[in-house]
Amino acid sequence: MEMNALLKKMILHAVVSGTVIILIFTLSPKGFAGDTDTARNYLSTIVSSLSTILALCISITLVAIQLTASRYTHRVLDLFLKMPFNVSLILFYFVTIIQSLYLLSRISEPIRETLPSYLQPQMTADMVLVVFCFAILIAYLYAVMRLLKPEHIVAEIERECLYAIMRKRKHEALDKVEQICDIAKRAAGDMDSTTGLIAIESLGKIAIHGSRATRSSVTKQFVEIAAIAAKEREGGMLGFVLSGLYAIGAEALQTDRMQDARDVVHAFERIARTALVGQQLVPFVEEAIAAMYRLTSVVIQKETKIMTREHVEFAEKTFRSICQIGEEVLLSEGDGGAYVARVILAHPFGRLLHHLEHLPELITDDGWPLLIDYARLAKRLIHLVQLSDLTHITSWVRDDLTHAVDHEALIRHELILMILLAALSHYEEQKAHVRLFVHAIASKVALPLPIFNEMIGNYRLLRALFDYRDARPHVLAIQTVWEEYTESRSVEVNASLSFLTV
């Protein structure tokens, strides 16, 4: 079908060019007034000039195409050969050269004799053809230069890919995806962010309209593009890749393609852990984590009637991936602790928890796995960071204790987290950290005995956090610290939180 369309275009160019040539021969008047000597010189010059121009034009064009192909993709040569303008150029030049040779052979009169009248219209036609040859050469060079622009190359490959997708030609579509990805990778290596953006936007369109295999291929290729961009310190390309991945993930969630969304989260995790962490590219790690948090918001804020446990599990597993990135940051970055406290464990997690609390019937095991994942990462911070860094964690809890008092489940989970972090600090013998966590919430809430009892009752769930030792002594120690703090100060608690003490 595509070859038929290309053949039709070439035939159309040939028919139009042939029609113009026939009209020139048919309608040309007797406009040439020179003698036979002038005609011979003119025709000889035209033959040599047009032959030289055509040869130079083709040579220069092929060199330019070869250079472009080496920089972007080998498909440039295919696109050039399929260009219908080639038919018009060759037809006009060949007809003009052959016509000139023919007229040169027909002039048999002596030197400086008047040109025979039957040859004068043909000489005029030859002169008009020369004018058309130069005009079409300019148009042809413009078409070639336009063809060599990266946006045109990408657009043509994208069009062919979408056509293959429409015709369900899986392997052909995947081949086109590879070609566009090659352009993006070379652009990243050459620090050409403009071309990279064009290629990434094209891949995003293909991912939206493509099959499951096509979307999976695009997502995997984004990881490789990001790795090259990170190696070359091409920040623009990294930003484009992360934005493109988020767009694919958001579209997948909106259309309920959960496997595609999971692939996107996995791609974010791979990019962050293998290409960004440890390379002094923390701002892009933050951008990746922010995008992952936004994806959890997209899935959790769906209409309640279409929510399933799969959607909530996606949010929980996405946070687990974020925690794994955080662990890599702690190991590889000098100020990783402060970064993790601010970007992962503070307000962004608070927003995730806030959204999840509207779906209590779907939360896995009453939210304990999510809280334990949080505490496992926070435990790594306790002996790595300064107290000032941990205030990022306590600040969002204090804000919720002040402004979100109507959300009983939310406040309950946040208090469990703070008590758990205080108990872990006690286990790590970090007394200053214990005071920080306890004082942050004890100044707002009276002693929540039901929560302490619940944590003691679930001590088996907490064993992994305490190196498989009994967590109860440390939880009870925090209860004692809380009671001592309450007795030593005149604490004015929030009356709206009285449900926590019952």
**pLDDT for 365-395, tens place per residue?**
667 888 888 888 888 888 777 788 888 888 8
CA distance 192 to 186: 8
Average confidence (pLDDT) over 336-342: 82
Residue 264 has pLDDT above 90, yes or no: yes
- Greater confidence (261 vs 381) lies with 261
Assess contact for 461 and 364: CB atoms under 8 A: no
What are 150's two structure tokens? 């990266």
Count CB-CB contacts under 10 A for residue 487. 9
Point out the least confidently predicted range of 76-90, 301-315, 351-365, 385-399.
Answer: 351-365
Average confidence (pLDDT) over 22-42: 81
Residue 292 has pLDDT above 70, yes or no: yes
Determine the pLDDT at residue 362. 61
Residue 6 has pLDDT above 90, yes or no: no
Q: What is the dihedral of CA 219, 224, 225, 227, to 10 degrees?
A: 130
Residue 437 has pLDDT above 80, yes or no: yes
What are 413's two structure tokens? 């989970």
Residue 494 has pLDDT above 70, yes or no: no
What's the pLDDT band for 495 if we cut at 50, 70, 90? very low
Determine the pLDDT at residue 502. 45
Q: Which residue has the tokens 């993006």?
A: 184
3-class secondary structure, 319: helix
CA distance 161 to 184: 16
Q: What share of the chain is helix, strand, coil (3-state, %, to 5)?
A: 80, 0, 20
What are 317's two structure tokens? 């597993």
What's the pLDDT band for 305 if we cut at 50, 70, 90? low
The rounded percent of the chain whose pLDDT value lies above 90 is: 27
What's the pLDDT band for 2 if we cut at 50, 70, 90? low
Q: What is the dihedral of CA 173, 175, 180, 185, to 10 degrees?
A: 140
Assess contact for 38 and 113: CB atoms under 8 A: no
Average confidence (pLDDT) over 247-265: 91
CA distance 336 to 329: 5
Average confidence (pLDDT) over 344-351: 83
Count CB-CB contacts under 10 A for residue 177. 27
Determine the pLDDT at residue 355. 74
Determine the pLDDT at residue 496. 47
Point out the least confidently predicted range of 134-148, 195-209, 272-286, 405-419.
Answer: 405-419
- Greater confidence (334 vs 40) lies with 40
Residue 269 has pLDDT above 80, yes or no: yes
Determine the pLDDT at residue 220. 92
Residue 406 has pLDDT above 90, yes or no: no
Residue 33: Cβ-neighbour burial (10 angstroms; 0-12, 13-18, 19+): exposed
What are 339's two structure tokens? 């970064």
Single out the residue of 103, 111, 106, 105 nearest to residue 130, CA to CA: 103
What are 274's two structure tokens? 């293998």
Question: Mean pLDDT across the chain, nearest whole number?
Answer: 85
Assess contact for 462 and 379: CB atoms under 8 A: no
Average confidence (pLDDT) over 115-144: 88
Average confidence (pLDDT) over 266-291: 90
Residue 476 has pLDDT above 90, yes or no: yes
Determine the pLDDT at residue 358. 66
Average confidence (pLDDT) over 281-293: 90
Average confidence (pLDDT) over 448-475: 89
Average confidence (pLDDT) over 270-284: 88
Enumerate residues 6+ apart whose C-beta is below 8 A from 357: 407, 409, 410, 413
In sign, the C-alpha dihedral spanning 379, 381, 382, 384 is positive
Residue 484 has pLDDT above 80, yes or no: yes
Average confidence (pLDDT) over 284-293: 92
Determine the pLDDT at residue 360. 65
Determine the pLDDT at residue 283. 87
- Greater confidence (308 vs 291) lies with 291
User: Model pTM?
Assistant: 0.80
Average confidence (pLDDT) over 430-436: 90
Average confidence (pLDDT) over 49-77: 89
Average confidence (pLDDT) over 439-464: 87
Residue 498 has pLDDT above 60, yes or no: no
Determine the pLDDT at residue 298. 86
Average confidence (pLDDT) over 447-476: 89
Single out the residue of 125, 127, 136, 126 nearest to residue 57, CA to CA: 136
Average confidence (pLDDT) over 45-59: 91
Residue 93 has pLDDT above 90, yes or no: yes
DSSP tally for the chain: helices H, then strands E: 22, 0
